[in-house]
Amino acid sequence: MFEADMKERKEGTVKLEDVDVVAVKALVDYVYSGIITLTENNVEAILSVSDLFQIVWVKEQCVQLLKNNVNRKNCFRVRKLADMHSCKELHDVSHKYILDHLDDLIAEEDLLLLSFEETKELIKDEERVIKSEDSAYKTAINWVKHDLEKRKDQLAELMSQIRLPIVSTEFLTNHIVAEPLLRQDHKCSQFLIEALNSQLTRVTERNDSFHVFLVGGTRDCVMGTKECKVYDISKKKLFSISSMNEDRFNNSAASLNGAIYSVGGYNNGLLNTAEYYDPVSERWSYIAPMNYGRRGFGMCTYNDLIYVVGGWWNSTVESYNPSTNKWHLCQAIPGTNEGFNRATVAENSIYSLTRVTNGNNALFRFDPRDGKWCNVNEIQETSNRYRLVCYDRTLFAMGRDDCKWLDIRVNKWESMPHMLSNRYGFSAVIAAKDIYVLGGEEEPSSQFITSVERFSILSNEWTIIDPIGIEHCHGGAAVLSGDFDFN
């Protein structure tokens, strides 16, 4: 200022406004002595002034002290300070503290004084673990009630960011449904109806008996097998059932209207054949073949149709109608599909995860109503061995090296806990609110991994539930619920 053509040059003085006098004196003393004392009482003020004076070393020491002392009383203030002075590491540390301790911060004045946008960003932050939805709800409702007249119109927008279907039944019924503000708001009441319907579905599912059909596979990645087995989740028993009509591996499977369909695969060449298993007659029967042979492809069901998506160096898509026994070509996946493909259904759309030519795994979305694909995003990873399942509005991608999940409303992949076994060639299915991983091999020994792992979506953790001895690799898997006698 003294060197530029500014009024301070003429006056010979600089007037500092809105700065802490004690902090300024401490920094002036530091400039002459090289000594400064930082405490919890002065560190925030000294950080602000050191940033203003561009005294980098002091600013760095302030950041380090604050990072080590983030707590319930100062976390929001520290995060705001970090934003004001472009301290990314400090912001990340304080923000993570807030997310990790949200339930303890709900009544804090600093949280209640956040702006609407800040509160919304906090609630929808994808770094929150799934099991903290009750904390997100309590944050939203407390924030609105703190200034009800001004904030009540923003309640629905905040509630739309909360994954109500995965809140525990007890908390939903005893706290959320009982809240008058939600029942009085039309949009919020619709959210409650959706959540209750989801909870009723989950109760029905818990009372069902789930069976995982494991069809085909290989022992040497050269020859397939026609063997089929069924794993009873509730009884933790493994049964053999009738073999398919032909050997196949890298095939895919799906259940539709009480039947199991096994399609495509490889055995001395690509297979376009398809067959289905009737649990009542206990027999496999051929259906019409696909237009294209394919292996390592995605398969799912939607509106009583079966969809097969992509495959190894294959971007074609087909749908099968059991009532007419005919396959129909759909719009192909955009670009070139270089590797294996997986598919699942979420909210009236088919999601396809596939390895593309740049080495990443691209996620595409297909709307069966208009028959068009669109690019959603990519996983910046080289693994092409993901398995893809869906629960509510969340996609789960399980791979040998890592696991990720994506809320389709947020459209950003986030890390989730790794499986307990480093397996590849495994199958993954979803039953009720849990993901089950079965079969596969370990590298480099190529030994079968015979245990069953379960991922609880509500508690966000993996457990090995059964060392039953399943030898299944590179085959198809699908779930049926009901009472069957496989003895």
pLDDT level of residue 284 (50, 70, 90 thresholds):
very high
Same-domain status, 305 and 454: yes
**Secondary structure of the chain in HEC code, one letter for each residue:** CCCCCCHHHHHCCCCCCCCCHHHHHHHHHHHHHCCCCCCCCCHHHHHHHHHHHCCHHHHHHHHHHHHCCCCCCCHHHHHHHHHHCCCHHHHHHHHHHHHHCHHHHCCCHHHHCCCHHHHHHHHHCCCCCHHHHHHHHHHHHHHHHHCHHHHHHHHHHHHCCCCHHHCCHHHHHHHHCCCHHHHHCHHHHHHHHHHHHHHHHHHHHHHCCEEEEEECCECCCCCEECCEEEEECCCCEEEEECCCCCCEECCEEEEECCEEEEECCECCCECCCEEEEECCCCEEEEECCCCCCCCCCEEEEECCEEEEECCCCCCCEEEEECCCCEEEEECCCCCCEEEEEEEEEECCEEEEEEEECCCCEEEEEEECCCCEEEEEEEECCCCCCCEEEEECCEEEEECCCCEEEEECCCCCEEEECCCCCCEECCEEEEECCEEEEECCEECCCCEECCCEEEEECCCCEEEEEECCCCCCCCCEEEEEECCCCCC
Indicate whether 10 belongs to any domain: no
Indicate whether 147 belongs to any domain: yes
Same-domain status, 157 and 232: no
Q: Tell me which of 207, 237, 259 is where a domain ends.
A: 207
Task: Tell me the average pLDDT across 224-251.
Answer: 94
- Could you give the number of structural domains in the chain? 3
Output 207 or 407, whichever has higher pLDDT. 407
Same-domain status, 81 and 225: no
Output 335 or 424, whichever has higher pLDDT. 424
Same-domain status, 240 and 368: yes
Same-domain status, 327 and 378: yes
- Evaluate if residue 142 carries a pLDDT over 90: yes
pLDDT level of residue 477 (50, 70, 90 thresholds):
very high
Task: Specify the pLDDT at position 372.
Answer: 94
Same-domain status, 386 and 458: yes
Q: In terms of pTM, does the model score above 0.85?
A: no
Indicate whether 96 belongs to any domain: yes
Task: Specify the pLDDT at position 40.
Answer: 87
Q: What is the pLDDT of residues 117-128, one digit of tens each?
A: 999 988 887 665
Indicate whether 11 belongs to any domain: no
pLDDT level of residue 15 (50, 70, 90 thresholds):
low
Same-domain status, 272 and 404: yes
Same-domain status, 468 and 365: yes
Indicate whether 117 belongs to any domain: no
Indicate whether 109 belongs to any domain: no
Q: Tell me which of 81, 100, 119 is where a domain ends.
A: 100
Same-domain status, 160 and 295: no
Output 173 or 246, whichever has higher pLDDT. 246
Same-domain status, 244 and 190: no
Indicate whether 122 belongs to any domain: no
Q: Tell me which of 153, 183, 207 is where a domain ends.
A: 207
Same-domain status, 314 and 453: yes
pLDDT level of residue 129 (50, 70, 90 thresholds):
very low
Task: Specify the pLDDT at position 57.
Answer: 92
pLDDT level of residue 223 (50, 70, 90 thresholds):
confident
pLDDT level of residue 427 (50, 70, 90 thresholds):
very high
Indicate whether 187 belongs to any domain: yes
Task: Specify the pLDDT at position 392.
Answer: 87
Same-domain status, 193 and 254: no
Residue 199 sits in a domain of what CATH number? 1.25.40.420
pLDDT level of residue 206 (50, 70, 90 thresholds):
very low
Residue 370 sits in a domain of what CATH number? 2.120.10.80
Residue 26 sits in a domain of what CATH number? 3.30.710.10
* Domain residue limits at 443: 209-481
Task: Tell me the average pLDDT across 433-455.
Answer: 89
Task: Tell me the average pLDDT across 95-121.
Answer: 90
Of all residues in the chain, the percent with pLDDT exceeding 90 is: 54
